[in-house]
Amino acid sequence: MKSKVLLAVMFIALLAGNIFFGLSYLAKQKELEGTQIVISTQRYNAMMLNFAKMFIKRVLKADKEVDFETRLKLENAVRDLKDDQVLQLWQQFVNSKDEVEAQKNVKDLLDTIMDKVYIR
């Protein structure tokens, strides 16, 4: 009789422990998912802002014509963003026919980049 009661108490204790640790695991898993989303957002924001900074520094503030290497770096940076809208605006800027169109396209590109940066 004593062994059956002891066995039942141990079973209940083990079951309670499993439930506790299972719920704990689920809570930590949910917390991890939230943290991963935050990290992903921060990486995306950093990439967007780095591209914008490079664009401003090497294109808008340039004293001379932008060289091929700089254009290639900018092209690679914009493609690394994996954002179709930004890429499309970049291509519109690159294919601008005159200075007025280029200025409009630059404004659209930078405005879109700033809109896409997510700030908490």
Specify the DSSP class assigned to residue 58. Answer: I
Q: Is the pTM above the cut of 0.95?
A: no
pLDDT digits (tens, 9 = 90+) for 18-58: 999 999 999 999 999 999 999 999 999 999 999 999 999 99
CA dist., res. 118 & res. 14, Å (int): 45
Q: Is the pLDDT of residue 120 over 80?
A: no
* Token pair in block for residue 80: 């690394």
Predicted pLDDT at 112: 94
Three-state DSSP at 5 gives: helix
